[in-house]
Amino acid sequence: MNKVHEHKNEESIVFSILNSDGVIVNKAAEPKLNDSELRTLMKRMVFTRVWDERAIKLNRQGRLGLWAPVSGQEASMVGSEAALRKEDFILGSYRDIPQMVWHGYPLYQSFLYSKGHQHGGQIPEDVHVLMPQIIIGAQIIQTTGVAMGFKLRKQKNIAIAYIGDGGTSQGDFYEGINFAGVYKVPAIFFVQNNQYAISVPLEKQTAAESIAAKSAAAGIPGIQVDGMDVLAVYQVVKEAAERARNGEGPTLIEALTYRYGPHTMAGDNPSLYRTKEEEDEWKKKDPLIRFRSYLMNKGIWTEADEESARKEAEQAISDGLKKANETPKMTVPDLIDSMFE
């Protein structure tokens, strides 16, 4: 990995490629993506924003269960998944359903999962994800295990764990990255630092200068990246994946981002612990606005493209919801059969 990307204890270096105006500020690190690939990143971020807006409404109407809002985190989610191969394994938390869907998990099953239907967890054979981990931090241990399996089988696949800043205070986080570092397993530990674990701010989670700095104790590279910059996220994950595939071991990535909505739709009220001034400051860094400006300046995105992307997303979401609603209701015998099978 390029040394300038690695975290240095003496100062915090946040890797970025686009500034908040969508202008390239790190030309040497710009990923080699063609126009079609760049447009796909934008379409997926628009889709994820539309999906989040719809899911919040569905939850408030009582038509959807568990939902953890993701607006503000589209760049970290879409950019990181896009840098993976389909054979790589994703292990996330309850906020990481978008990455699962972009990795091949059917959208309608994500709605079933949110409704508590067991078919939501019946993952297709060719989709390499685990269901969202509800036990905070447990996916770190699981990721190390999956990656160890890849290493023992001499497969060139990697496992990536997604976790929030609060999850890094769990013992599983330290145990997992330590074991991964010792055995140089092909893993990426991707921390979406959205500044709050429910209502607990980052400064109450750790006295370390950053989460990326915690990599030093495990003997692995640690990188802080602008999580509102989809190109920067894509590049650091791509490089970390190459390191892992080449037998150089795991990487800890801290993506600095922000969730605009509540922690979940289960009663959290962010206005009780965040100021409007803080929220407005982060919204100036909005990942969609930033990347949209970049693409428009390149002449490969228009307002019509944006409208078309939103309409496609709205239709796909409606279709997925319809299919989920048409799925036969779960029965107690079905649940028992699945359990004992």
Q: pLDDT for 276-315, tens place per residue?
A: 999 999 999 999 999 999 999 999 999 999 999 999 999 9
Catalytic residue among 49, 103, 117, 259: 259
Taking domain 3-340, whether its CATH number is 3.40.50.970 is answered by: yes
Residue 94 burial by Cβ neighbours in a 10 Å radius (0-12, 13-18, 19+): middle
Q: Is the pLDDT of residue 9 over 70?
A: no
The full set of domain ranges for the chain reads 3-340
129-133 vs 89-93, strand pairing mode: parallel
129-133 vs 251-256, strand pairing mode: unpaired
Give φ, ψ of 130 to 5 degrees.
-105, 155
Q: Above pLDDT 70, what percent of the chain?
A: 96
Q: Is 273 one of the catalytic residues?
A: yes
Mean pLDDT of the chain: 94
Catalytic residue among 263, 290, 292, 294: 263
Q: Is 259 one of the catalytic residues?
A: yes
Between 25 and 5, the more confident residue is 25
What pairs with residue 226 in β-bridges?
256
What does the DSSP assignment read for 102-153? HTT--HHHHHHHHHT-GGGG---TT--EEEEE-STTHHHHHHHHHHHHHHHT
Confidence of residue 58 (pLDDT cuts 50, 70, 90): very high
pLDDT of residue 61: 92
Q: Is 113 one of the catalytic residues?
A: no
Confidence of residue 12 (pLDDT cuts 50, 70, 90): low
Q: How far apart are the first and last CA of the chain?
A: 45
Give the separation between CA 314 and CA 161, rounded to whole angstroms. 29
Give the separation between CA 158 and CA 188, rounded to whole angstroms. 8
152's CB contacts (< 8 A; 6+ apart) are none
Exposure letters 266-291 (e unless 16+ CB within 10 A, then b): eebebeeebeeeeeeebeebbbbebb
Q: Kindly report, residue by residue over 78-134, the tens digit of the pLDDT.
A: 999 999 999 999 999 999 999 999 999 999 999 999 999 999 999 999 999 999 999
Confidence of residue 150 (pLDDT cuts 50, 70, 90): very high
Question: Is 159 within 8 Å of 130 (Cβ atoms)?
Answer: no
